[in-house]
């Protein structure tokens, strides 16, 4: 594989900055960007809408072919569609936030979505952001990064993103929701959230956003230099 076809896996807990870091690093590298959480969110949204029980793995997995990612104006795969309709704004709502872990815990759902993600990554030159990219989806990804931050820092960032008072009651709810999802993501039997043994972990508390992006870009460029011209 030449230096133009690396696959970059960025995993980490909710609000660890994976999406914004992944998106910005991908733009700097000229790589495609995929937010894989959108797939889990869209399938959950569709199941709720159709009245499919989220603990019925095969029934939820059967909805996967109806969901597809689409490019935004910048060419990033950060939009999600069902039957040609863009549902991105709906999948970030509180109802999906509360329900997505249940769907994401079903092995049939994960298997179906792993296939979709591998297909997207096959051509390389891509940054995939998720929970199990380095461990399950692309265990042979050329670059693996695990972004971590304390729960208070992540809650603070999410509250600021939503224009909320970082010490207010809504921020406290955000923190409680993050803690609940961390426990669900890390505790599930299939593909639990954890760093791959060969991932570089970055603890981002106190690190400036630009410094995290620079570190990721450097890791990719170093790896690209090392693998340049080497067939895979």
Kindly tell me which of 109 and 224 has the beta carbon lying closer to ligand DC.
109
Nearest CA to 53 out of 94, 97, 103 is that of 103
CB of 203 to ligand DC, least distance (A): 19
Burial class (CB within 10 angstroms; exposed 0-12, middle 13-18, buried 19+) of 167: exposed
Angle at 223 between CA 32 and CA 207, to 5 degrees: 75
Q: How far is CA 43 from CA 34, 46, 119, 189, in A?
A: 16, 5, 18, 20
Kindly tell me which of 142 and 185 has the beta carbon lying closer to ligand DC.
185
CB of 128 to ligand DC, least distance (A): 8
Q: Which pair of structure tokens corresponds to residue 198? A: 């060969």
Coil, strand or helix at 216: helix
Kindly tell me which of 4 and 115 has the beta carbon lying closer to ligand DC.
115
CB of 42 to ligand DC, least distance (A): 10
Kindly tell me which of 150 and 222 has the beta carbon lying closer to ligand DC.
150
CB of 13 to ligand DC, least distance (A): 9
For 19-162, strand residue ranges (E) read 32-35, 67-70, 79-82, 85-86, 126-130, 143-148
Question: Residues in the site for ligand DC, rule: CB under 6 A?
Answer: 14, 36-37, 40-41, 100-101, 104, 130-133, 181, 185
Contact present, 79 and 92 (Cβ < 8 Å): no
Kindly tell me which of 98 and 232 has the beta carbon lying closer to ligand DC.
98
CB of 131 to ligand DC, least distance (A): 4
Kindly tell me which of 17 and 37 has the beta carbon lying closer to ligand DC.
37
CB of 14 to ligand DC, least distance (A): 5
What is d(CA 216, CA 21) in angstroms, rounded to the nearest whole number? 8
Kindly tell me which of 41 and 156 has the beta carbon lying closer to ligand DC.
41
Coil, strand or helix at 41: helix
CB of 52 to ligand DC, least distance (A): 17
- Residue 97, Cα to own-chain centre: how many angstroms? 14
Contact present, 128 and 8 (Cβ < 8 Å): yes
């Amino acid at each position: 594989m030449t230096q133009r076809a690396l696959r970059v896996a960025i995993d980490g807990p909710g609000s660890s900055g994976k999406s914004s870091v992944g998106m910005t690093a991908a733009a700097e590298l000229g790589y495609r960007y995929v937010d894989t959480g959108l797939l889990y969110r869209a399938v959950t949204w569709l199941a709720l809408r159709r009245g499919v029980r989220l603990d019925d793995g095969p029934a939820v997995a059967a909805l996967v072919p109806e969901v597809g990612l689409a490019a935004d104006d910048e060419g990033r795969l950060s939009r999600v569609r069902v039957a040609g309709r863009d549902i991105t704004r709906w999948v970030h709502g509180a109802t999906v936030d509360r329900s997505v872990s249940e769907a994401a815990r079903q092995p049939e759902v994960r298997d179906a979505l792993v296939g979709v993600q591998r297909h997207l990554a096959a051509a390389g030159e891509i940054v995939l952001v998720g929970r199990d990219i380095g461990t399950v989806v692309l265990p042979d990804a050329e670059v693996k990064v695990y972004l971590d931050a304390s729960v208070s820092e992540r809650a603070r960032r999410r509250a600021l993103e939503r224009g909320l008072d970082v010490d207010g009651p809504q921020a406290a709810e955000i923190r409680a929701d993050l803690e609940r999802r961390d426990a669900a993501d890390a505790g599930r039997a299939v593909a639990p959230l954890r760093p791959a043994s060969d991932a570089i972990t970055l603890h981002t508390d106190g690190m400036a956003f630009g410094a995290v992006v620079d570190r990721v870009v450097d890791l990719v460029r170093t790896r690209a230099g090392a693998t340049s011209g080497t067939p895979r």
